[in-house]
Structure 1
Amino acid sequence: MASKIAFLVGGTHSGCGKTTVTLALMAAFQARGLQVQPFKIGPDFIDPGFHTRLTGRTSRNLDGWMLSRDYNVDRFLRSFQESQVAIVEGVMGLFDGYDGASEAGSSAEMAKWLGLPVILVVDAGSMARSAAALVYGYCHFDQDLRVTGVIFNRVGSPGHFQYLQSAMAASLPSVPVLGGIPRDQEVSLPERHLGLVMADELALDKPWAERLGELAERHIDLAELSALAGWDGDYLSRKTNAAAPVHPRRFDPDSPGSGVSVVEPSSLYQAAENPEASLELAISSPKQGAFPVTWDSNADRIVLAVPRDAAFCFYYEDNLDAVRDAGADLRFFSPLAGESLPQGTVGIYLGGGYPELHAERLARQLRFLDDLRRAAREGMPIYAECGGMMVLSRFIVTRDSEQFPMAGVLPFGTRMLKRRKALGYTEVLIRKPCLLGEVGVRMRGHEFHYSEIVEQEDQETLIRSYELQARHGTASVLEGFQIGAVLASYVHIHFGSNLDAASHLVEACRRFREKMGPHGGNRGTEG
């Protein structure tokens, strides 16, 4: 008999109730005294926050396009070791992924990689017998996929649920109906332009979690689900030699030129006759044997400042682990709470989030903004993604057309739009040496934003280090804005797609510390 339980919660489409059902199941198993390890498929930052708050364990992103099969399997196994239940929340519809011609990046692909049964969530709010036809299609679309149970969501009444059960029994008796969840506005999750509201912004208190758990206890057959989802790991042990998809190269420490070095700091906007020369503000082209990018465990760890609050809340946990493994001591702080760079900071990782919703408060954090400017002038490595890039810009214009000044490190402003500007996976090719790697290195990531760059100035000093290669038929875009030791982009790169990136970033910080001397780095502005 299997000692663990593991399954994937898939859906017929986005908005069918996957997240609510997933959270209800997590709460129910937790209430039964079982430790739940949560996972989320896809590049989402928001759902994992709910998982983490509810279970007390860090939810991990799995992704079949950004990350190799081996990486996903390893992440799953390592994270699942100390728990009794693994619940993987899918992304979009069960078969939706990178493109329409393959399963790449889909929940179905991940279920097969991990050998997990799929529990299909169906929005039955406006259906009766047709729901059985829909389920039939999902069960037969891919014969290698195991759809082992169905949960109907937004069921209108007990009579409606009985109708759905009889339809399934008549047309698809081999797939059990595990439950029917009624409409319940009290556990519905509010949304905003980038998806669900962040977990930290809602009162995810004990009564709310208990209500979710009770919802699953009353309306889902947890005993049958557990029996269908017994897991012993044998499938993965038999598949360890399966071919992995082609992904960006991993770091080879024996290859020539595998390093970055930081030169003397200079003025942030120093003019250069040769545009590429502005790299010399902070980063020089590597030479063979410069130094390894792998971390020496005997060396001191560097202090990497990471803002983390309602304005800066989009970080892949694997990215944070990667820079830790490369030798970084992460120091979290909250700009919205009036905190600034921790003492000893020699590098900054500005993640994304919702700076536009907190632009007025951020504009009042003068010490934080001044510290960003000073760090940039001194040549301290600063890596910023999406919202972090917006804070490094000159200003943010909100949806209400209010303009708030930001750090002004980057020579442009950003403006929020009413319609989405970009959404989707992207492959990053490094075309100019930068904090994350050398020319020719490839990484993978994701874009999702409603803002655009405006009033760009000082073209001569701003280098575009990235070539963004999106879907087939989409023109490449030059991006990855670099000035001095600052690298900023709309792309959220997953360091698991190329672990060199984390090592390069940490080494740049270490070199900066060496050049600044024994007392280099930020010297005590935290408060």
Structure 2
Amino acid sequence: MRARAFAIGATSSGAGKTILTLGILAALVRRGLRVQPFKCGPDFIDPSLHQVVTGVSSYNLDLRMMGPEQCRSLFFEKAETVDVVVLEGVMGLFDGGPASTAELAKLLGLPVYLVIDARSCAESAAAVLKGFETFDGDLHVAGAIFNRIGSDRHRELIERSVLQHCRTPVIGWMPRDDVFHLAQRHLGLHMGEEQSLDEEGVARFVTVVEQRLAVERLLVPVALPEMEQPKGQPASARKRRLVKIGVAEDRAFCFYYRQNFELLEKMGFALVPFSPLQDRGLPSDLAMLYFGGGYPELYGAQLAANQSFRAAVRRLFDHGLPIYGECGGFMYLCRQLIDHQGQHHDMVGIFPFATVMGRRLRRLGYRDVTLTRTALFGRTGDRLYGHEFHYSDLDDAGAGQEVVVDGWETCYRLDNNSLEGYTVGAALGSYVHLHFANTPEALDHLRQQLVG
């Protein structure tokens, strides 16, 4: 398969990789090309920004959570009908070891264009490029983009050093200019649906990208590795009677992997959106409620004030309806949320904990989950894969114990030997964001739990 496809990596986080990716995506769209964006790693925010710029869903590719074959399968499936495929990397190019941008680019056969922040250096920037182009002989670093160039003299110093010491061509010199700015907060950039991208600013930035970056150099066709097509259709994906799952979707609950939704739909689930911020009640005939992650801490007062909705959730729980909450969704299902200002907000109250926002990151990293007993997504001993990233924690000193306390117990044992996955009745809550690409049988089990 020959396609125009490439990855955008960086020397480190904060080098300007996301902003440059958005500018490149916008420039490609402006040329009338059909673009399919991807994001390396367990990020929820960057894919939402990709979607705003391109108008199509962006997908995560994560070697740790999904595994190599699932990453390849999704990549080729979505790349088949577009003109250009763009993969935005995560952190520095080699950060994350076996789950790094470099390893993913090698798996997919993608050339990498490296973003280098030249703000506080000159000739030394060439030494950085030299190190990255020689660090892994199996990786194709196809070009360099020097970001935050302060002047023509600054550029000349770097360019002379690069020509003398490096083999990688420079395809872009981006100025040190705040023409395009993305607001940030404790979990990173603002989500795309929050209109964090100013259209006028994007247009100006695209103009700068076209002037300072050789976009046409990115569009050279590359030979991608052959992908064996799946043989037949698995039984779990055949058409079945639709089962409705209610999904919380608004500004407070917006962290979902797009592929998880598609896997649910292939399993015969119909996803019915609702808003804990705006709705007064829930849709009818639901088999389960799904509260994803997001920013409940920013909307604590509004969520608490919507008492009729919280009561509706509680009534369904009391009648035995399965309910699943991840991270922010789990926080909403707890007794109380204590925000950054120390304000206490009453939540649904299914789990007897208060969640307390901290100033520092409490947990960050991949999580391999082993079920210690049968639950919504599997039986005792089954494995699940996910990621944690949160600033809040439980205030209950008993959290993490294996025994039943106040009607709750745990069903997850994580690979760091801690206990997680809190259950009360038919409800399951956890700080771990699960990805189901590598464990589709978990969704088959879910369906059996819901419909028998």
**TM-score for both structures, normalised by structure 2:** 0.94
- In structure 2, list runs of 5 or more residues that go unmatched: 399-403
Give the match for residue 294 of structure 1: 236
Give the match for residue 278 of structure 1: none
Give the match for residue 343 of structure 1: 284
1:452-467 maps to which residues of 2 (within 5 A)? 452-455=393-396, 459-467=405-413
2:205 to 212, 219, 230: 212
1:169 to 163, 168, 186: 163
Distance in 2 separating the partners of 1:314 and 1:445: 13
Residue range with higher mean Cα deviation, 366-375 or 14-23: 366-375
Letter in 2 for 1:212: F
1:433 to 362, 374, 386: 374
Is structure 2 residue 356 aligned with structure 1 residue 410? no
Is structure 2 residue 410 aligned with structure 1 residue 468? no
Give the match for residue 91 of structure 1: 90
Distance in 1 separating the partners of 2:285 and 2:198: 36
Distance in 2 separating the partners of 1:167 and 1:93: 22
* CA drift at 1:509: 2.5
Give the match for residue 24 of structure 2: 25
Residue range with higher mean Cα deviation, 495-504 or 200-209: 200-209
Is structure 2 residue 324 aligned with structure 1 residue 383? yes
Contact 1:411 1:456 in 2 (8 A): no
Contact 1:413 1:456 in 2 (8 A): no
Change in 2 beyond 3 A, CA 1:295/1:462: farther
RMSD of aligned residue pairs (Cα, Å) = 1.8
2:446 to 505, 508, 517: 505
Give the match for residue 131 of structure 2: 137
Contact 1:323 1:503 in 2 (8 A): no
Q: Secondary structure at the match of 2:379?
A: coil
Contact 1:295 1:503 in 2 (8 A): no
Is structure 2 residue 230 aligned with structure 1 residue 231? no
Residue range with higher mean Cα deviation, 55-64 or 335-344: 335-344
Q: How many residues get paired?
A: 443
Q: Secondary structure at the match of 1:185?
A: coil
* CA drift at 1:417: 0.5
Give the match for residue 154 of structure 2: 160
Please say which structure displays the higher CA radius of gyration. 1
Distance in 1 separating the partners of 2:145 and 2:134: 17
Distance in 1 separating the partners of 2:217 and 2:145: 12
* CA drift at 1:151: 0.3
Task: Kindly provide the CA deviation profile for residues 273-321 of structure 1, in whole angstroms up to 9, marking residues without a partner as x.
Answer: xxxxxxxxxxxxxxxxxxxx93662x42011000111100100111111
Letter in 2 for 1:349: Y
Is structure 2 residue 5 aligned with structure 1 residue 14? no
Is structure 2 residue 251 aligned with structure 1 residue 314? no
1:323 to 258, 261, 264: 264
Give the match for residue 77 of structure 1: 76
Bigger share in strand: 2
Contact 1:306 1:331 in 2 (8 A): yes
Distance in 2 separating the partners of 1:146 and 1:494: 29
Is structure 2 residue 313 aligned with structure 1 residue 354? no
* CA drift at 1:212: 2.9
Contact 1:481 1:488 in 2 (8 A): yes
Letter in 1 for 2:174: I
Residue range with higher mean Cα deviation, 325-334 or 347-356: 325-334
Q: Secondary structure at the match of 1:92?
A: coil
Distance in 1 separating the partners of 2:447 and 2:189: 32
Distance in 1 separating the partners of 2:447 and 2:203: 42
* CA drift at 1:199: 1.5
Distance in 1 separating the partners of 2:446 and 2:202: 39
Q: Secondary structure at the match of 1:70?
A: helix
Distance in 2 separating the partners of 1:205 and 1:16: 21
Contact 1:412 1:456 in 2 (8 A): no
Give the match for residue 54 of structure 1: 53
- In structure 1, list runs of 5 or more residues that go unmatched: 98-102, 242-252, 254-292, 471-475, 512-527
Distance in 1 separating the partners of 2:406 and 2:172: 62
* CA drift at 1:156: 0.7
Contact 1:323 1:506 in 2 (8 A): no
Give the match for residue 38 of structure 2: 39
* CA drift at 1:158: 2.2
Give the match for residue 121 of structure 2: 127
* CA drift at 1:437: 0.3
Q: Secondary structure at the match of 1:83?
A: coil
Give the match for residue 198 of structure 1: 191
Q: Secondary structure at the match of 2:39?
A: strand
Distance in 2 separating the partners of 1:339 and 1:204: 30
1:437-452 maps to which residues of 2 (within 5 A)? 437-452=378-393
